[in-house]
Structure 1
Amino acid sequence: MSQKLHPIIIGAAQFTQFKKTEIHLDPLKLMVKTSKLALQDIGIDEINKFIDTIYMVNINSWSYADAPEELSNILGIHPKEKVFLPDGGDSPQMLVNRAAKAISSGKRRMILITGGEASYSASRDRRRKLKLDWPEKVDPDYMEGKLWYGTTDFENKYGMIFPSCSYAMFETAVRAASGRELKVHRSYMGKLFERLSKIAAENPHAWSKKSLSAEKISTPTSENRLINYPYTKFMCSNMFVDQSATIIMTSDKIAKELSIYPHLWVYLMGGTDLRNVFEITRRPRLFDSPAAREGAKIALKQAGLTLDDIDSFDIYSCFPSIVQIIKKEIGLKEDDPRDLTLTGGLPYFGGPWSNYSMHAIVTAVKQIRKDPHKKIMVISNGGYNSKQSFGIYGKNPPAIPWTERDDSEIQESILENKLEPPIIKANGHITIEAYTFIHSRNGRPKRGIFMGRFKDQTRTCAVIETDPEILEELEQEELVGKTFTVQYDPSSDRNVLILNEN
């Protein structure tokens, strides 16, 4: 019987290009840097010759004709396969899971997975506060699939294409489902993210090393203005960072043949990729994630572990709502003391667009090498609570090999609960399920966005634009569960929420 091939990570590196650097590297050069560091991490001369595949996460802050090819040429790699993904925060863990399957099946021997962003430097250049010597910006020659915006035309009319809007709406649904009062929940969000901030403060790679208190995070001030109610600036992912991370994967069999030191090996013990109903307005509930619920079960079963066996987690943390949703879905209790982030999270460590979770994976590898008994779960999230990828890392092979897995039935069961399409031109009374208020840079609200259902359970969205004073009064109430009149407005092609008729 042939030996089973179990996927392992053998090289891992990350780098943060801080604000005060003298030379501002572009994203590709940042990936070159971390790729070279990951190769050096393995400790084998000319290990690059064994790499037959390059996986690259989408780059938002710059663009190149063929970034995977340019990287390969610089590193002296001749890949059989190059993958350049469209955007999505689930990408790093999803690519690791894809690599695990390719390596376990024997289709690939060694895979380099990388990503990098330089959004801080690029934004400074756009504002003419920095002059960059970067290559010309060129549209990519190819991309696997296409850029996916994750929201429908109808949802976009109400601003849901902006994550700070969609996740803020989820937050009000989560709050109502929890039964917490408004002030209690604001404090709760602050305490939740205070835990992340403390870890970032101790992380040498973190973009922000200020340890923020729960009160500092949750209290709106001129420094910490409300972005989209109920979120303050300190609760939101910081995408304007310069960061890159790279990992290199192979099988334990090949690592042994190449005499790569076993203390470097970190197994991908379990993992999966699942998605929720993509259309936000067609999800049965706005405060849960069946993909996260089922994904955790699948990954733990493959690893031969229970949730109690996991020592720490990295839960994708672009906004508080997704942390709460995933935390609850995987079965973590409110008083569970285990860390929810390895890095400090997207608001404080940094949120380099689609590549954040690569930094979590690199950090997991380093921690497990120091403590071989440690088991770590990384959960990445893409879109608008749209898709989640799971990875469990440790020093043992998976209990169920990667070649003996099929999650298609579970995926189908999640998607079969999709609701009917929303009412585009709505007139009548709706009961509010979720809402947010969009704030101007002066800190005051300018618009309210609502989602709710009619008595027949069909759903729609509505907008309200009125005096800031009125919107501020509405922010002091719990509006989930209340009934309002909505009317279609042909001039704006949107449904309008009517006050004082509930």
Structure 2
Amino acid sequence: MTISDRTPVIVGVGQSVERIEAADYQGVSAAELAARAADAALADSGVAEIARGLVKIVGAVRTFEDSNAAPSPFGKPDKFPLAIARRLGITPSRAVLEKVGGQSPVTILAEMGDRILAGESEAALVFGAEAISSTRYLSGKGEVRDWAEALDGEIDDHGFGMKGLLSPLAIAHGITAPPIAYALMENARRARLGLDKASYALAMGALFAPFSAVAAANPYSSAASQALSADEIATPGERNRLVTDPYTIKLVSRDQVNQGAAVLLMSVGAARAAGIPEDRWTFVHAATHAQEKEVLARPALDAYPAANAAIAEALAISGKRIDAFAAFDFYSCFPIPVFNAAIEGLGLAADDPRGLTVTGGLPYFGGAGNNYSMHAIASMVDRLRTEARGSFGLVGANGGFQSKYAALVLSGTPAPWRPLVADPIQQALDTVADIAPVAEANGNGTIETYTVWRAKGVPASAIAIGHLADGSRFVANAADPETLAQAAETDPLGATVSVRFDGKRNLFNFAA
């Protein structure tokens, strides 16, 4: 195959981690962790200084602080991509800050590749990081850091990209935090499968137990950890409290991390001229993206057709069947995205000998904000260079509330660069009609899914989604403490309820 000299190729990857319990812990900022990872990616190329001089464009994954999702008591850079570039001694002609979401490492990588292909630069760096663990730890100790930076220069800020993720009706009923939204989807899946609480909990534990083993062996994991059994993950206890039904804390993404990851792209011509051996090159064979409907508008609350469509298109573009892949990393903030993408979408088994993660997953390796899948890409490149050389790897990156999904196919086998494919996938998904939930619900209904949110293990609120007698969808909160207690102590799936609108929101009581 003849590959154009302008073809972008991955030639360097890097990761960084700072553990609070480590003897050399310093408590550095997210910008510093991103710069360390980017420096490692430059070094990984084997021609760090040549590569540094070639990088004219940089792309940053948006931190949680820049996503309106985390406080910044120590301040932050006003232009995150330029803060990292300054640390690296790079003055880019273009610096990009990507949209919010776990899909963004794939989409920003694809954009940088497009820019290299177009001749804008011979090399590009993409990076991201979080220091949420240090922020909380140092603040709790009363320590102060100055992480604020004001930088000259312009950035191309793609904005938040959060429109359409949650409706005002969902927000009014408390569907605001990821554990709550995902729990509603998870229990909807349990209802479809007809499983009781204990059986489904064990299935989630069995899915994630292999993830914990991978994380325990990963030197870049956010904290020292050990492999866990399915029972240890699924069973509530003093050190594994229920967060929101059906999730224990060991089933929830760990956002208290200090982690950074970066990828260096270079044109084939520049990589060859710099003397980077071809067995260090990793090609992007396909990159795809799709967006899901708003949560309450989805015909099936447990399904994720956007993920399945993005992955199917990535496989089609690469021309590979799933048995050609040697490694996978499915975004695992909670079990259901993995169930949907890997188990139901691709027919893989939880104990597939290839594994479903190369990092260890978000609850165990660490959920580094929007940047988790940059770690997955870096780890996948390492895998494909070594024991899986010549084979293929698939990274599935999830954003929002099962809202956005990007799929990436990687291999050391040469392939021409193909731009991110999104529009044709989206057009097909958008032909399916939305569900219009009832804003002011009154009458009897049946619960299709629910969750009980717990504050430090104590039931604090309950949300139910179901259908009224006429088939229309409702969302409602527990009307009183007695209803909340019954929702927490029983299994409300399929229960008959009385729903009423109180002027602000819908409330439900269990039928007598």
Please state which band the TM-score falls in when normalised by the shorter chain: over 0.9
* Contact 1:97/1:272, CA 8 A, preserved across alignment: no
CA distance in 1: counterparts of 2:198 and 2:150, whole angstroms:
48
* Contact 1:17/1:24, CA 8 A, preserved across alignment: yes
Q: 1:244 to 1:276 in 2, by over 3 A?
A: same
Is 1:182 matched with 2:197? yes
CA distance in 2: counterparts of 1:429 and 1:107, whole angstroms:
61
Which segments of 5 or more consecutive residues in structure 2 lack a partner in the other structure?
66-71
Match for residue 29 of structure 1 among 9, 28, 32: 32
CA distance in 2: counterparts of 1:286 and 1:142, whole angstroms:
35
- Residue 285 of structure 1: SS of its match in structure 2? coil
TM-superposed deviation, 1:13: 0.5
CA distance in 2: counterparts of 1:272 and 1:221, whole angstroms:
40
Match for residue 278 of structure 2 among 249, 259, 262: 262
- Residue 409 of structure 1: SS of its match in structure 2? helix
CA distance in 2: counterparts of 1:336 and 1:475, whole angstroms:
34
Match for residue 148 of structure 1 among 154, 162, 174: 162
CA deviation string 1:174-226 (max 9, x = no partner): 11222322211111111111111111111111123222221111111121110
* Contact 1:58/1:115, CA 8 A, preserved across alignment: yes
- Residue 380 of structure 1: SS of its match in structure 2? strand
Counterpart in the other structure of 2:68: none
Is 1:52 matched with 2:56? yes
Where do 1:162-173 residues align within 5 Å? 162-173=177-188
CA distance in 1: counterparts of 2:304 and 2:209, whole angstroms:
24
CA distance in 2: counterparts of 1:381 and 1:230, whole angstroms:
20
Number of positions where the alignment pairs a residue of Structure 1 with one of Structure 2: 493
* Contact 2:50/2:274, CA 8 A, preserved across alignment: no
* Contact 1:289/1:329, CA 8 A, preserved across alignment: no
Q: 1:465 to 1:17 in 2, by over 3 A?
A: farther
Where do 1:218-237 residues align within 5 Å? 218-237=234-253
- Residue 475 of structure 2: SS of its match in structure 1? strand
Q: 1:300 to 1:123 in 2, by over 3 A?
A: same
Match for residue 390 of structure 1 among 407, 412, 420: 407
CA distance in 2: counterparts of 1:377 and 1:285, whole angstroms:
26
- Residue 52 of structure 1: SS of its match in structure 2? strand
Q: 1:331 to 1:476 in 2, by over 3 A?
A: farther
Q: 1:160 to 1:137 in 2, by over 3 A?
A: farther
Match for residue 459 of structure 1 among 464, 473, 485: 473
* Contact 1:272/1:390, CA 8 A, preserved across alignment: yes
Q: 1:487 to 1:326 in 2, by over 3 A?
A: same
Is 1:135 matched with 2:147? yes
* Contact 1:100/1:268, CA 8 A, preserved across alignment: no
* Contact 1:66/1:142, CA 8 A, preserved across alignment: no
CA distance in 2: counterparts of 1:75 and 1:230, whole angstroms:
44
Counterpart in the other structure of 1:340: 356
Counterpart in the other structure of 1:272: 288
CA distance in 2: counterparts of 1:359 and 1:95, whole angstroms:
14
Q: 1:169 to 1:78 in 2, by over 3 A?
A: same
- Paired amino acid for 1:445: P
- Paired amino acid for 1:386: S
Where do 1:20-419 residues align within 5 Å? 20=21, 21-44=24-47, 45-61=49-65, 62=72, 63-127=76-140, 129=141, 131-136=143-148, 143-146=157-160, 148=162, 150-208=165-223, 209-277=225-293, 279-334=294-349, 336-371=352-387, 372-398=389-415, 401-403=417-419, 407-419=422-434
Counterpart in the other structure of 2:20: 19
TM-superposed deviation, 1:123: 0.8
CA distance in 1: counterparts of 2:10 and 2:142, whole angstroms:
37
TM-superposed deviation, 1:353: 0.8
CA distance in 1: counterparts of 2:106 and 2:60, whole angstroms:
12
Report the more deviating stretch, 239-248 or 428-437: 428-437
* Contact 2:54/2:121, CA 8 A, preserved across alignment: no
* Contact 2:284/2:417, CA 8 A, preserved across alignment: no
CA distance in 2: counterparts of 1:154 and 1:173, whole angstroms:
19
- Paired amino acid for 1:23: Q
TM-superposed deviation, 1:163: 0.3
Q: 1:147 to 1:126 in 2, by over 3 A?
A: farther
Q: 1:175 to 1:137 in 2, by over 3 A?
A: farther
**Percent of aligned positions with the same letter in both sequences?**
29
- Residue 95 of structure 2: SS of its match in structure 1? strand
Q: 1:137 to 1:460 in 2, by over 3 A?
A: farther
- Residue 311 of structure 1: SS of its match in structure 2? strand
* Contact 1:118/1:241, CA 8 A, preserved across alignment: yes
- Residue 191 of structure 1: SS of its match in structure 2? helix
Q: 1:225 to 1:65 in 2, by over 3 A?
A: same
CA distance in 2: counterparts of 1:225 and 1:331, whole angstroms:
32
- Paired amino acid for 2:148: E
TM-superposed deviation, 1:81: 1.6
- Paired amino acid for 2:115: A
CA distance in 1: counterparts of 2:32 and 2:460, whole angstroms:
41
- Paired amino acid for 1:135: W
* Contact 1:121/1:130, CA 8 A, preserved across alignment: no
CA deviation string 1:318-365 (max 9, x = no partner): 111111111235312336433111111001101111111111111011
* Contact 1:276/1:386, CA 8 A, preserved across alignment: yes
CA distance in 2: counterparts of 1:409 and 1:141, whole angstroms:
29
CA distance in 2: counterparts of 1:294 and 1:147, whole angstroms:
20
- Paired amino acid for 2:466: G
CA distance in 2: counterparts of 1:348 and 1:109, whole angstroms:
36
- Residue 157 of structure 2: SS of its match in structure 1? coil
- Residue 296 of structure 2: SS of its match in structure 1? helix
Counterpart in the other structure of 1:494: 505
* Contact 2:99/2:161, CA 8 A, preserved across alignment: yes
Structure 1: which 4+ aligned runs deviate by more than 4 Å?
Answer: 137-142, 470-473, 475-478
CA deviation string 1:217-245 (max 9, x = no partner): 11111211100011001110110110000
CA distance in 2: counterparts of 1:346 and 1:317, whole angstroms:
6
Which segments of 5 or more consecutive residues in structure 1 lack a partner in the other structure?
none
CA distance in 1: counterparts of 2:51 and 2:427, whole angstroms:
41
CA distance in 2: counterparts of 1:297 and 1:438, whole angstroms:
35
CA distance in 2: counterparts of 1:102 and 1:433, whole angstroms:
47
CA distance in 2: counterparts of 1:309 and 1:195, whole angstroms:
21
